[in-house]
Structures are given as C-alpha cells and as structure tokens.
Amino acid sequence: MSFSGKVALVTGGSSGIGEATAIRFAQAGARVVITGTRADVGEAKAAALRDAGHEVQFVAGDVSQEADVKGWVDATLDHYGRLDFAVNSAGVYQYEAGTIVDIASDYWDRLIAINLRGIYLSMKYEIAAMLRSGGGSVVNVASGAGLRAVPMASAYVAAKHGVIGLTKTAAVDFGSQNVRVNVICPGLVKTGMTTFLDQIEPEVASQYYKANAMERIGLPEEIADAAAWLCSPGASFTTGLIMPVDGGYSVK
C-alpha cells in the first residue's frame, strides 16, 4: 500500500491509536500532520518520525476548540496545499463512577466536547478542505461503546454513538462529491487508557480480555492498519461503514 504524494491529518496523533496511525501512514509514504494538546510530546514524536526519513509536522491544539481545529487544517493546507486523508482519533475516557443521575454536568460537557464536538469540528474543516482538493477519505475513531450500552459510562457511550451517527450522515451528504467517511469501533486496545489493566490482579484483568472472542487485548497498530485500508484504493467503494476492530467483542 502506497500513499506517496498524499497528505494525511491525524488528530490525537502523538499517542495511542493516533500515533500508530501517523506512523503507518508515514511509512506508506504520506506527508502527515499530527495534532495534540501537549506540544512537547507532539514535537518530539514528529521529530522522531522525521529522523526516520518521514515528512511529518506537529500542530498543537484542543480538538474541542473551533479556532484550533480550523488552525491545524489551515496549517496543513498552507504547508502542503491539499488534504487527502483525515483520521480523527483524538478522544478521552475517564471512569464516571456513577449513572447519569450521579455524574456532574461539567464532566458530561467535557466528554461530549472532546469526543463528539471534536469530531464535528474536525469533519467540518477537513471535508471542506478535501472538497477543494477533489475528494478524500475521513476515518473517525469511535469505540465498541458506540455499538452497545456500557454500565456507568453514559457520557462516553452517548458521545461514541453520536460519532457513528455523524459518520453515517456525512457519508450520505458527501458521497457524490468523492469524499468517503467511515468509522472504526475499536475494542479493548493497549493504550494509555488501558494501563489500569497492568495495575489490577491478573485474574481480574483476564476478565476484560475474555470479553472478546479472541480473548486478548488489541494493539494500536491493528487499528492503524484498518484506518490505512479505509483510506486506500481497496476501499474505494466503501463509505458509511461502521467497522468493529475488536477481536469479536461486538458479536460475543
């Protein structure tokens, strides 16, 4: 798979699934712009990829802030003149420790702002840029929590269900204009969000792994490979797809 000559934007690209995706696209020859909230971390990750021979830039910002999102899309266009691919992986999870009756409204607002509003803002400016470039491919990263109920996770579940709805609507709205929009729903993946599994009793952790049919945790690279395929010519007739990459969690 070659992305030579293509330009990719990866939100949340300095850690976890986003970082793995940025590496995957860069290795395929794309020029990559990554975003994140921590400039020191993001600049270091971009520099490491440049040292490895890839063309990668970092732009700091908050995905829930419209000016920041517009700013990094504009920076991509200023630097490279086009946008072909966007992978929207910026997100946050924090255990709610309560039902919708118990959680604070500012907690709800924060998760919705980052996990749902952030996808809306990202697509708003990314798709506009792609239309000027003649088309493109957007891959949103939702969650298995967007496919089913999860106890004590109402804000996260609502946001991820919303991402799936936004994806399907955008796929319909822009399909005739050569913009494809798909969504990946990862299961349990080894990222900073799952480090708690290393801190609990092994027999308890094993219950998390056994929740999927393959009885193991996924790797960020496995999600990145799915995102790369969705942007490749092999997926040229694929849009509006809700793609679980979860080891069989969604069917067990």
156 is a catalytic site residue: yes
Residue with tokens 């020859």: 29
Question: How wide is the angle at C-alpha 206 spanned by C-alphas 205 and 209, nearest 5°?
Answer: 100
Angle at 84 between CA 79 and CA 87, to 5 degrees: 100
Gap between the Cα atoms of 83 and 135, Å rounded = 9
- Rounded Cα–Cα distance for residues 28 and 42 (Å): 20
- Of 80, 156, 208, 249, which residue is the catalytic one? 156
| Residue 88 CA from chain centroid, whole number | 4
The pair of structure tokens assigned to 121 is: 């803002």
Residues classed as catalytic: 156
